[in-house]
Amino acid sequence: MCGAGWNEATIRERARRLAEKAATVWKAPALAPEVLEIYRPKVERSASYTLADHPHLSDNSPMRALFDAFRKEVLALDPVVTEEFLKLYVAYKAETNFVDVVPQKSRLRLTLNLRFHELHDPRGLAEDVTNRGRWGNGDVEVAISKMSDLTYTMGLVRQAFEKQMGDGEAEA
């Protein structure tokens, strides 16, 4: 490297080499799921609500299958994601709520915890609900009423999750 001097390209190349070397020196631990479960934070709840407290999610409700599919996808985003049933909605959290679900008779009303201008929504399904009274946290609302919209909607939810986890900071 003598004589070449330090510039952005040489610094990036050195950083890449050091990162590769670090990854071989300090391997990530491979722990069994039961060991990881011991160290997961336990969420204490003062009031205990369940699925049964939401009549629009009863077994014979048209929204139940959609909610179950949505729930499975959200919880699969990352092991840190937790689910909390509240009186009026269901919260999905990592550090804080990133999506809240208000079960309704013919749809699931999702509130995404990010600013409307931060969302990439090519189909235009989301609505800006800034300064509007509502249940849930965030400025973006999306309604989902059919299974065929689940994949696209999960792309929107993933943006809220990644923003909260810090993966979207460089784009702003």
Per-residue pLDDT for 2 more than 60? no
Mean pLDDT of 136-162: 89
Cα within 13 Å of Cα(162), Cβ side: 15
**pLDDT digits 0-9 by tens, 24-33:** 888 877 788 8
Q: Is position 56 within any domain?
A: yes
Q: Is position 33 within any domain?
A: no
**Nearest partner of 99 among 125, 123, 75, 122, judged by Cα:** 75
Q: Is position 90 within any domain?
A: yes
Q: Is position 14 within any domain?
A: no
Mean pLDDT of 127-133: 79
Per-residue pLDDT for 167 more than 50? yes
Q: In what order do the strands lie in the sheet with 127-128?
A: 82-85, 90-93, 97-103, 108-112, 140-144, 127-128
Q: Is position 30 within any domain?
A: no
State the virtual CA torsion across 160, 105, 71, 81 in degrees, nearest 10.
50
**pLDDT digits 0-9 by tens, 77-117:** 999 999 998 888 899 999 889 999 999 899 999 999 988 88
Q: What is the pLDDT of residue 27?
A: 80
DSSP output for 83-107: EEE-SS-EEEESSSEEEEEEE-SS-
Residue 119, domain CATH: 3.90.1150
Q: What is the pLDDT of residue 100?
A: 92
Per-residue pLDDT for 69 more than 90? yes
Q: Is position 155 within any domain?
A: yes
Number of domains comprising the chain: 1
Percent of the chain with pLDDT over 70: 89
Q: Is position 61 within any domain?
A: yes
* Domain region containing 85: 47-171
Give the span between the Cα atoms of 152 and 73, in whole angstroms: 12
Q: Is position 10 within any domain?
A: no
